[in-house]
Amino acid sequence: MHNQSISELGQALRDKKISSVELTQYFLDRIKRHASLNSFITVTEELALQQAQAADQLLASGQARALTGIPLAQKDIFCMNGVKTTCGSKMLDNFIAPYDATVIKQFNAAGAVTLGKLNMDEFAMGSSNETSFYGAVQNPWNTDTVPGGSSGGSAAAVAARLTPAASGTDTGGSIRQPAALCGITGLKPTYGRISRYGMIAYASSLDQGGPMARSAEDAALLLQVMAGFDEKDSTSADQPVPDYLAELNKPLQGLKIGLPQEFFTADLDSDIAAAVETAVAEYKKLGAEVKDVSLPNLKLAIPAYYVIASAECSANLSRFDGVRFGYRCDNPEDLTDLYTRSRGEAFGQEVKRRILMGTYALSAGYYDAYYLKAQKVRRLISNDFKQALSEVDVIMGPVSPSTAFAIGEKSGDPIQMYLSDIYTVAVNLAGLPGMSIPAGLVDNKPVGLHIIGDYFAEARLLNIAHQYQHVTDWHTQCPPGFE
């Protein structure tokens, strides 16, 4: 049952081979059995079974939609009415959200069942899911290694078949990098395609929600529900939502693929480079053409990203002050002591580091030297992608310079951790859609293929991914012990 796709599970529900209550209980039992992965922060068992009962009534009345009765899990960055929403932080350990994020509301309207809230790096700041207040998540492919971050709980839960699919968010690679390291499909849509209302902010001009699933077809089903204009989000794009399933089977004859020379440097593991080249060769067999392209300013993406993201995080996290909601220190002497101790005791080391970096970059005398210059570099990077995508349909390359690394291996070296996102952050700076699909194993650890498209080209990316998954079986591989 846990190896079936969302489409197969939906058909089984409609054919009354299984009820949503039975299916939900099956996954709840599986979550308990594999609790050692630490992929969930909160399991909403009672709510899930209530939603499943309601879904069974809809199925019986013939009013079911594609996700009706399907159990899913949500990254713990989306507010969910009446449910603890922590963002992986001690700061929000006691916060019960009083409303639903738009994404949650859309899943509820579609009749989906919520199994629980997934573990993540604190306030989405991390590339390994080790900064969570609730402890590190284990990668099901090798439990001594990280699942990637910040959506590591989502990636691990989908890979281990604890949920058919999950939501994630991507600020600098936080859907794509864990998807690559856990061997699943993850899509970061165009900035503005999915509402950010009710999604706790890290860096507002970069954050974007998206689907994480085992296949491109399943990701398309989730995106169909998640996408759309939302008047409650001022950055939401007022663009029509296409039928993402309609184009999945479109042939790839004549597809132009660009390979940026800057992706294939000495920093990239040679086995990962070989896996990417093998995947590109499969696309050639499907009728695609390959061309070399250049992204000359890619080397500036990491410093520009960490200046901009840290600056925005220092502004967004100023609301967590111990006054209105969240953690509050005991017996403060005065207001200054309340602010200082509440923030000092509740934020983790990585969050503090980024707040300090961001506050410094925005301070008088340094704004022009750092933040303004980083925004100018951002424009150059965006222009590079614009030029490259005028020559080709999509850009391909690696997602991560290495496979999953050992838990604790990079936690003492922030620079090495930041470099884990060297191939992903530029896509967020440009606001483009990008996705990771499974493309092989190196030493029994998954490798992801990065596919980057033009603005609002999610349907095309899903089509390209689906056609590859039609002729390969990497996306069906299951971690040993979770079959």
pLDDT confidence of residue 10: 96
* Catalytic choice (39, 75, 310, 400): 75
Tokens of 363: 């301070």
- What's the pLDDT tens digit per position in 99-129? 999 999 999 999 999 999 999 999 999 999 9
| CB burial readout 188-215, b (16+ within 10 A) else e | bbbbbbbbbbbbbbbbbbbbbbbbbbbb
Mean pLDDT to the nearest integer, 135-142:
98
Using CA atoms, how far apart are residues 350 and 130, in angstroms rounded to an integer?
Answer: 10
Contact 68, 103 (CB under 8 A): no
Q: Residue 364 above 90 pLDDT?
A: no
Please give the average per-residue pLDDT across 152-164, as a whole number: 98
- The yes-or-no verdict on residue 266 having pLDDT over 90 is no
Q: Which residue has the higher pLDDT, 460 or 483?
A: 460
- By percentage, how much of the chain surpasses pLDDT 70? 100
pLDDT mean over 153-163: 98
Catalytic residue among 174, 310, 400, 436: 174
Calculated CA dihedral for residues 61, 67, 70, 75, nearest 10 degrees: -140
Active site residue 7: no
Domains of the chain: 1-483 (3.90.1300.10)
What is the pLDDT of the chain when averaged over all its residues? Answer: 97
Task: Please provide residue 288's backbone torsions phi and psi, each rounded to the nearest 5 degrees.
Answer: -85, 155
- Is the separation of the CB atoms in 44 and 118 below 8 Å? no
User: CA dihedral in degrees (49, 64, 71, 19; nearest 10)?
Assistant: 60
Q: Say whether pLDDT at 22 is over 90.
A: yes
Amino acid at 65: R
* Residue pLDDT, tens place only, 226-255: 999 999 999 999 999 999 999 999 999 999
What integer pLDDT is reported at residue 340 of this predicted model?
A: 95
Which pTM was predicted?
A: 0.96
* Tokens standing for residue 398: 């690696």
pLDDT of 267 higher than 90: no
- Closest Cα partner for 204 from 308, 348, 325? 308
pLDDT of 408 over the 90 cut? yes
Q: Is 174 an annotated catalytic residue? A: yes
User: SS3 sequence, the chain?
Assistant: CCCCCHHHHHHHHHCCCCCHHHHHHHHHHHHHHCHHHCCEEEECHHHHHHHHHHHHHHHHCCCCCCCCCCEEEEECCECCCCCECCCCCHHHCCCECCCCCHHHHHHHHCCCEEEEEECCCHHHCCCCCCCCCCCCCCECCECCECCCCCCHHHHHHHHCCCCCEEEEECCCCCCHHHHHHHCCEEEECCCCCECCCCECCCCCCCCCEEEEECCHHHHHHHHHHHECCCCCCCCCCCCCCCCCCCCCCCCCCCCEEEEEHHHCCCCCCHHHHHHHHHHHHHHHHCCCEEEEECCCCHHHHHHHHHHHHHHHHHHHHHHCCCCCCCCCCCCCCCHHHHHHHHHHHHCCHHHHHHHHHHHHHHCCCCHHHHHHHHHHHHHHHHHHHHHHHHHCCEEEEECCCCCCCECCCCCCCHHHHHHHHCCCHHHHHHCCCEEEEEEEEECCEEEEEEEECCCCCHHHHHHHHHHHHHHCCHHHCCCCCCC
Has residue 365 got a pLDDT over 90?
Answer: no
**170 and 151 Cβ atoms separated by less than 8 Å:** yes
75 noted as active-site residue = yes
Say whether pLDDT at 63 is over 90: no
Using alpha carbons only, what angle is made at residue 378 by residues 377 and 384, rounded to the nearest 5 degrees? 90
Out of 150, 167, 310, 342, the active site residue is 150
Q: Is the pLDDT of residue 271 over 90?
A: yes
pLDDT at 192 over 90: yes
> Given this model, what pLDDT does residue 444 score?
96
Mean pLDDT on 318-324: 93
In the prediction, which pLDDT does 450 show? 98
